[in-house]
Amino acid sequence: MLKLIFDPEIYCSAAEVAELDGTEPLTLTGSGLWVGVLSRGVCLLDGFDRPGQSGDILLGAPPLTLTPRTDCHLLGVRLAGRCTDAYLLQLGAPRWADGAACPGAAELLAQLHGVRTPAMAYALLCAIDRADETARPLPPLVAEAVAAIRQNYMALYGVEELSEQLGVTKSHLVRVFKQEIGVPPGKYMTNVRIEAVKSLLLTDEYNLEMIAGLTGFSGANYLCRVFKREVGLSPAAWRAAAAPLPAVPKLPPRSQEMYV
């Protein structure tokens, strides 16, 4: 009987990591997609018209030449695989993108510098899904709503409280927000919370009840229901898929084998 084996490395993997720390230029090589988070300083990207600022995300196919204007720090990872290839077809030229569009990317990238699993690499690719979109100015109300959600998603009870904070009716906020963002503010808030949950699930420091409290869910049971609905897996199943594989013990050299 033919046995088919699914190899997640074929679809998305973290092939290499890199770090820029200081003022020396860095050239990123290889094949695939480099994703980097600039956490400090101002940095030039060869071929792109504006410098990257702290918080920006680097996206592009190698080779990429980075030239710091000031003391900089950037963590980068090179993604490979079929999903990465599909993303590159839409990305076009290398660029700096606004990191505010994907707040979970920095945490995922930091995790990948320690443990590189296909699930974690794919989670990063999903997190940067909208980072390559050209930034456009939002109406003041929508910009304020987005900022309020991203900065305070763990404490907001819902859209009604958000609309009260912004001094508008709930119906007006929902209509304007959906017109500009494409989803209502409640859905956007849920997406931000799910990103935060995934970041916390990548460590063993928090149980589900703690994660629920840190991300704005009323309890572990409610978190599990929403997570399963949005992601298609339970938090436990997602965490297991993203966990590093157990180390395989090395076999002794043939010269040390014993025969009985």
Q: What is the per-residue pLDDT across 66-100, written as a single tens digit (0 to 9) for each?
A: 999 999 999 999 999 888 887 887 777 888 988 77
Statement to judge: residues 160 and 127 lie in one domain: no
This prediction has a pTM of 0.56
pLDDT value at residue 255: 43
* Statement to judge: residues 122 and 168 lie in one domain: no
Last residue of a domain, one of 88, 109, 133: 133
**Residues whose CB falls within 8 Å of the CB of residue 116, separated by 6 or more in sequence, listed in order:** 13, 14, 17, 77
Task: Tell me what pLDDT residue 23 has.
Answer: 94
Q: And the tokens for 154?
A: 């763990």
Distance CA 221, CA 130 (A): 29
What domain range is 210 assigned to?
A: 136-244
In a domain, 259, yes or no: no
Q: Which residue bears the tokens 């899904």?
A: 129
pLDDT tens for 8-45 read 667 788 999 999 999 999 999 999 999 999 989 999 99
Give percent of the chain above pLDDT 70.
Answer: 85
Answer yes or no: do 104 and 186 share one domain: no
Report the CATH number that the domain containing residue 180 is assigned in CATH: 1.10.10.60
Amino acid letter for position 155: A
Tell me the CATH number at 45. Answer: 2.60.120.280
Structure-derived torsion over alpha carbons of residues 191, 197, 201, 206, reported in degrees to the nearest 10:
-170
Q: Cα(72)–Cα(41) distance, rounded to whole angstroms?
A: 4
Phi/psi of residue 43, nearest 5 degrees: -140, 140
Which amino acid appears at position 130 of this protein? R
How distant, in Å, are the alpha carbons of 140, 173, 196 from that of 127? 25, 25, 11
